[in-house]
Structure 1
């Protein structure tokens, strides 16, 4: 029995086959083409050819894709939607999408703010205006296939959102895609609403790539595989879950690399330095999973607050262009030859000096034809390496939470350009198969569930509240496809909210477990 893991990057699409003992059977890198889907299936064909395994023995296929991210950034493939906010009169001062760029705000056919919603303690802000809700959906009938519903303090009580969703399906039909903010974002109405709008607009994109991926696997004889999508907390979700919450696939690439780095290095706490062809992503591995960002994240110019990995990106990769200025200083990047590295880099007979050429010139890597970079001045190469080292070491300092040295793991196809003696690190390793850590992370990922709520400890004692939250998180993981016996709590926090009366705390618990056995 085998698992097929695929991860799409800006330069390469990686694919791996892993057996039932989680040993890597085959791993390949295939250039990411202009047509991302073509690159995905090219990688699948290549890894199948290299492994020679019986395709009917592949029982799970996992895909980490950038298609939703690209759709938002490029404003392509987004579906027309309707936006309903429940929170009048309190929230009418700031309309939906107030700070959105016009080219992406155009996804909204219509929006409305109706009466309803709750206070921070769950008390009613205003009565839910069911008549206005029904009237709004009747007005957009036949014009949209998806709706985004948000409500004031719906993370405390989502009664009004659920009722509005029922009305939407009654009026627009069961085929309408309904995105509910309490299932997507965290505290903060506007940012949570923004994430919900993007999720609704992405539903057609998700439908197309999930259907296409599953169909193409079948065409290649992979007929017994259950298909999963990588999500941005380092875990997996089913096709059905991905179609309902496509926004959760955004930034799954860095999280796949972090999970893969943990598996390959057998380390649970470290900084992961994932070097691609164009950028280097630095993330923190905490208890075997990516550290989550604690701040609002902007995607394609839209400010959101749904869960995202705590990752920084710098303009350094294997294809980064190296230049020497008139004053003798050397710069590396941020521009890159990207997936054209095998055509444009000097070691491959091209005419552009890249970071990979520098690594080959200094004897750090064996790629292409070393004789083609022998004439690069050693002083220039040394300065370029120093520039690359400085960029990464600054990134390490930004991700650390103390001044103590921390372990680091170098992964990604471009990690050949960096040394392992980086300042700020106690130990820095490049594990075997590090070039395909992202695809490996996709293949070995678990299934997770998260529970978040505001709890007044004067009403519900702390231990009872945490126990309830743990149980709810475990149920969410099981509902997402995890085997109950394998589910464990991987993160738990309760943060006092000083600006709330009483002893109100934000309680958040995450659980994860194994997929159904491949046997």
Structure 2
């Protein structure tokens, strides 16, 4: 009779140790949690040896029958380490084919990568026809002959890994452009690996492409590594599937992991979190928990949500300088571990961040070494710990230092726990990891501190008990079905995908749902749904057959191909373009280049302006990131970007304007081509008054704040950009601008020209009102891909001096400079106050609130996103909750009273902290960056800053057009937050001074 397959093996192959555990999940409710055996040993050069040793040792210790093993699940850092270390023997060159038509040309693949990694991996790229609009319509169909031509080039270059990425491919279920292109590539090249971007990550073109390229670069290494993992399983006679853990705490089959190794990049911290939750069991069921994993060098802290999954990073993740958008746990690390150095600096006892790391057994006092470590102080402060020779420590550290050590480690842990919490209430804190002994038994912010038994191998336990999950991220039309009906269908699809991935059908449930209506697009909603369930072990044999073919003699330490090594040899290890220009300068001596009252923009200036533009966007305007990349490309290509003060304009100068209009969701996927310039060129080919002499941004807030720099520096114009704009922020409509407020012309924004970048151009020479211009453009948007470039007829220099919100590029620059300075000087805790100082001090701005997002609601009406975000205080200086209603941009910040419903219409004037036209910006408290309304997520730690509006907006008509009543808040009155302080012009301050 065959043995009952009821045991699970979990192995975590870390950079320092390989941990293993054997668990009987049917006994998880017992005192020993069903743990039959465990093992911890240093990681071997060939990980297969360490895996074999771990399993063999546990089998011998517990007399386990190999036939009783139902599964082996492995967590590994090998793939992510290959990228982090730029290991040329493990990374292959990649070719990229973009199915994008005329779009994305100004942001080529790997444009935002560190040059050493880009030069190592990117072997070739091409933009070919293809791509979809957000509604599923074709931008263009793919052309087989174009792809065949690129295949010839790829073959000549000897590249064996190809990424195919199409615009809006994650929602492409009908045209199947990526799949069809892949079939052509495989037919032409035969022995290549092809990665489809839609299988790697979700919406967000650049970030998805980045993830797909990294995934492709490690495919060969991943296959060898996973094959080597399977060797010991086979040799030990185990007839069971081998799984690899992925970033969200769930499992991939070995076959799936060999195709998508990038999904395993951050499985280590996740395994520890899931393992910790398993160890405490039903005691904490249904409650969020903080998991603190104390290692030898660092402490990793993450929040395990009530649904059993780690909280994920909000929008983007970054690895080794590469920005991506695949699922990644939100983990914060501090330099505290068992090997942390302990010493006095300037009279104060300091713990870490330096560490002896894996040399702890030879360096620490307790083991006969001469370096005082956190482990030594822990041993000295407790008579109950038997580590090494405790007598070698006692007498070498003073009682005062021991008490100071306790206080400092407690402070460090309490601070990081408070940072990661999502509400002021205390919650359980689980301490795991080999260094957990250095942590105290009580911590502020913790309802109780738990140090579960077997916590030293929590990562292996998490691997063994990992679940199965699947995510559906798509855009659907609500024209014929209700949002509720569509959501029900998508939830069923997510459940079925989870079952297909190996889950037991009756155990699958929905663990995460998010709906995001798309602005300016009729009846379109983005749905993100995650389902999860337990593995169906009755189907183990199906997954055992999906093993990766074991290459004869293959080893993850094999040398790379000659072509890869040659690529690495030619790649520089460092490059000037890899410098973080936002923080690399000396803030006390940096002087922007201003010559004869023209400000010549540098990369440092650009980085600061970008940060400031998004903060001034008050939640809207779209992220300026991709536009920043385009401006940076102009500078690196030798282009010159000039900015002049509105004060210096001549009366008869002609000031052009324009920018992008449409949905930010479209903007993150269909990256700009030449639609902005097409609109400008067409307008001035028809406009009788001549081309402009200067350019001014329509709005400083968000992406359009940088469009003025793009257009003014284009070869077609090559004119200065004015230090100002028509909003001083971002507003949702074109008529909410200062030229309309002044009302000196019957109509300002006609003639107007809009272009979609795909050959469709609309010219409107006259209109009855600026409102009508807005309405026509919004109507055309749906048929023009929901994103267009706009060109507005010029106004005079005299009009610009009267109408413009002045010096807003300077203001963005000053805000960005203070955010960058706070980062460099580790003063992010005070970044909100620094921003207020940058805009004119406490008279003109105020920190309104500090807290965590605890609720977000959104709905689409008349093309705009309406909603509100609820923020709960997390800082001792603030109490209660506030709500921020928004219409694309934030409208107001309103205090909520206990028990008060957050419904529009119930607010009172005395509860209003700030309201339009004053600016309300929500800022990420972790890095000082603005958070746009599409990025609002539960649990984000935020700062809310209020800035008094420009005097251009505080007239009666200004308040009528840009105040509360224009947003439907008829019951509220505008009361200025403070006194407007005119931004100091960079040109006025630095003209003629020496630039560095």
Question: TM class, shorter-chain normalised?
Answer: over 0.9
1:250 correspondence with 2:271: no
Alpha-carbon deviations, 1:429-479, whole Å to 9, x = none? Answer: 112211111100100111111111122333431111111111111121122
Aligned pairs for 1:437-448 (under 5 A) are: 437-448=458-469
Q: How far off is 1:495 after superposition?
A: 2.6
Task: Give the whole-Å Cα distance in 2 for the aligned partners of 1:260 and 1:358.
Answer: 28
CA contact (8 A) 1:57 1:224 kept: no
Shift of 1:36: 4.8
Aligned to 1:206: 222
State the secondary structure of the residue aligned to 1:350: coil
| Structure 1 residue 347: Cα displacement | 1.6
Match status 1:164 vs 2:181: yes
Counterparts of 1:393 and 1:186 in 2: how far apart (Å)? 35
Q: CA deviation at 1:303?
A: 0.8
Match of 2:135 in 1: 121
TM alignment of 1:293-304, pairs within 5 A: 293-304=313-324
Going from structure 1 to structure 2, the CA distance change for 1:33 and 1:354 (only over 3 Å counts) comes to farther
Q: Find the partner of 1:422 among 439, 443, 450.
A: 443
For 1:257 and 1:504, locate their aligned partners in 2 and report how far apart those are by CA, in whole Å: 39
- CA displacement, residues 252-309 of structure 1 (integer Å, 9 cap, x when unaligned): 0111111111111123421111111111111111111111211211111111111111
1:62 aligns with 2:62: no
Instruction: Give the drift of 1:87.
Output: 0.7
Provide the residue aligned with 1:81 in structure 2. Answer: 94
Q: 1:355 aligns to what?
A: 374
Structure 2 CA distance for partners of 1:459 and 1:228, relative to 1, 3 Å: same
SS in 2 for 1:29: strand
Q: Distance in 1 between the 2:335 and 2:43 partners? A: 18
Distance 1:478 1:172, change over 3 A: farther
The residue number in structure 2 matching 1:12 is 17
3-state SS in 1 of match to 2:169: coil
2:184 and 2:521 map into 1 onto residues whose CA distance is 34
Supply the distance in 2 between the matched residues of 1:479 and 1:365 (Cα, whole angstroms): 48
* In structure 1, C-alpha distance between the alignment counterparts of 2:159 and 2:481, rounded to whole Å: 42
Other structure's SS at 1:99 match: coil
Alignment of 1:336-375 (within 5 A): 336-363=355-382, 365-375=385-395
**3-state SS, counterpart of residue 474 of structure 2:** strand
Greater relative contact order structure (CA < 8 Å, 6+ sep): 1
- The 10-residue stretch of structure 1 (70-79 or 1-10) with the greater mean CA deviation from structure 2: 1-10
Greater C-alpha radius of gyration: 2
Instruction: Report which stretch shifted further, 332-341 or 285-294.
Output: 332-341
Q: Tell me how far 1:358 sits from its aligned partner.
A: 1.5
Residue 412 of structure 1, aligned match among 428, 433, 448: 433
Matching residue of 1:278:
297
- Equivalent residues, number: 515
Match of 2:121 among 87, 100, 107: 107
When normalised by structure 1's length, the TM-score is: 0.94
Residue 255 of structure 2, aligned match among 235, 240, 255: 240
* Structure-1 residue corresponding to 2:153: 139
2-side partners of 1:486 and 1:434: how far apart? 27
Contact 1:13 1:30 in 2 (8 A): yes
Paired residue secondary structure (2:159):
coil
8 Å CA contact 1:237–1:481 kept in 2: the answer is no
Equivalent residue for 1:400, pick from 397, 421, 431: 421
User: Distance between the aligned counterparts of 1:136 and 1:123, measured in 2?
Assistant: 25
Q: SS of the counterpart of 1:501? A: coil
Deviation at 1:138, TM superposition (A): 2.7
Partner SS state of residue 233, structure 2: helix
Distance across 1 between alignment mates of 2:24 and 2:192? 40
Deviation at 1:156, TM superposition (A): 2.4
From the superposition, tell whether residues 198 and 432 of structure 1 become closer, same or farther in structure 2 (CA, over 3 Å). same
Query: What are the Cα deviations for residues 57-92 of structure 1, in whole angstroms up to 9, with x where unaligned?
Result: 323111000011101001220122211111120111
Contact 2:503 2:535 in 1 (8 A): yes
Distance 1:33 1:320 in 2: 24
Q: In 2, are the aligned partners of 1:271 and 1:406 still within 8 Å (CA)?
A: yes
Among candidates 291, 315, 326, match of residue 335 of structure 2 = 315
Change (3 A) 1:321 1:8: farther
Q: Contact conserved, 1:58 with 1:222, CA < 8 A, in 2?
A: no
* Farther off after superposition, 193-202 or 180-189: 180-189
- The CA deviation at 1:193 is 0.4
Separation in structure 1 between the aligned mates of residue 369 and residue 232 of structure 2, nearest angstrom: 35
Map of 2:502 onto structure 1 = 481
- Residues 336, 352 of structure 2: 8 Å contact kept: yes
- Partner of residue 570, structure 2: none
Q: Identify the residue that residue 95 of structure 1 maps to in structure 2.
A: 108
CA spacing shift, 1:459–1:273, aligned 2, 3 Å: farther
> Do the aligned residues in 2 keep the contact of 1:11 with 1:278 (CA within 8 Å)?
no
Within a 5 Å distance, the mapping from 1:256-275 to structure 2 comes to: 256-266=271-281, 267=284, 268=286, 269-275=288-294
Contact 1:177–1:244 at 8 Å: present in 2 too? no
Q: Choose from 223, 227, 245 the match for 2:238.
A: 223
Q: CA deviation at 1:39?
A: 4.1
Give the secondary structure class of the aligned counterpart of 2:270.
helix
SS at match of 1:303: strand
* 1:177-216 map, 5 Å: 177-216=193-232
Query: Shift of residue 118 of structure 1?
Result: 1.5
Q: CA deviation at 1:188?
A: 1.4
Cα deviation code 1:205-244 (max 9, x no counterpart): 210111001112223x243232110001101110110011
Superposition deviation, residue 30 in structure 1:
1.2
CA distance, structure 2, for counterparts of residue 137 and residue 339 of structure 1: 47
User: SS of 2:134's equivalent?
Assistant: coil
- Superposed displacement of residue 35, structure 1: 5.3
Secondary structure at the counterpart of residue 401 of structure 1 = coil
RMSD: 1.9
Say if 1:388 and 1:242 are closer, same or farther in 2 by CA, change over 3 A.
same
Classify the secondary structure of the residue corresponding to 1:474.
Answer: helix
